Amino acid sequence: MSRLFVAIQLSDEIKKAVTASLHEMKKQGVGGSYVPTGNLHLTLAFIGETKDAGAVKDALKTIQYKPFKLTLAENGCFGDILWVGVKGNQGLTGAARSVRSALEAAGISYDQDKFVPHITLIRKFTGNWKKAPVIKGEMMVKKISLMKSEQKNGKQVYTEIFSV
């Protein structure tokens, strides 16, 4: 069994901008479980536990998208999860729709929640994050990755196993 999700991996520049902002938040007393820099990503579809990674790869081979720009927007939260949003754009929305349609067509179940583009920064956060500076950054998205999530030495590790 593999725990899988489809994501956009972030550029080094965006990771640096996010990390700098997270250091600022820590200084301002925002607590919680900070996402390690290497695990920062934007999820397009969360699949979860599956025995057949090959079927997911085959489904992803059918998706269609053109490279598009990803631009960070404002910070926000869902309950106790703090995130940075991204500006909605047709390229991103179309890529997410294409991924989800390909999974559905292949009969692969995934989390059907409405697509709200964001990058999770801190889980179970505490403190006032609203004083933190807005994270700025943009990148061109030229690939979509199938990621495996696993526990290694008590830490969550994400590994790309396929990309289109």
DSSP SS3 for 114: coil
**Confidence (pLDDT) at 88:** 83
Average pLDDT of the chain to the nearest whole number: 95
**Confidence (pLDDT) at 133:** 80
Q: How many domains does the chain have?
A: 1
Note the pLDDT tens digit of each residue in 56-106. Answer: 999 999 999 999 999 999 999 999 999 999 998 999 999 999 999 999 999
For 15, 17, 77, 83, 87, the CA distances from 139, given in Å and listed in that order, are 11, 12, 23, 18, 12
**Confidence (pLDDT) at 130:** 87
**Confidence (pLDDT) at 134:** 84
The set of residues, in sequence order, having a beta carbon less than 8 Å from that of 52 and lying 6+ positions away, is none
DSSP SS3 for 134: coil
Q: Please spell the DSSP secondary structure of 20-71, one letter per residue.
A: HHHHHHHHTT-EEEEPPGGG-EEEEEEEEEES-HHHHHHHHTT-----EEEE
For residue 145, what is the domain's CATH number? 3.90.1140.10
Q: What percent of the chain has pLDDT over 70?
A: 100
Q: At what angle do helices 53-60 and 90-105 cross, to 10 degrees?
A: 130
DSSP SS3 for 87: coil
pLDDT tops 90 at residue 131? no
Residue 97 structural domain: 2-163
**Confidence (pLDDT) at 48:** 97
Q: Which two tokens stand for residue 37?
A: 């820099």
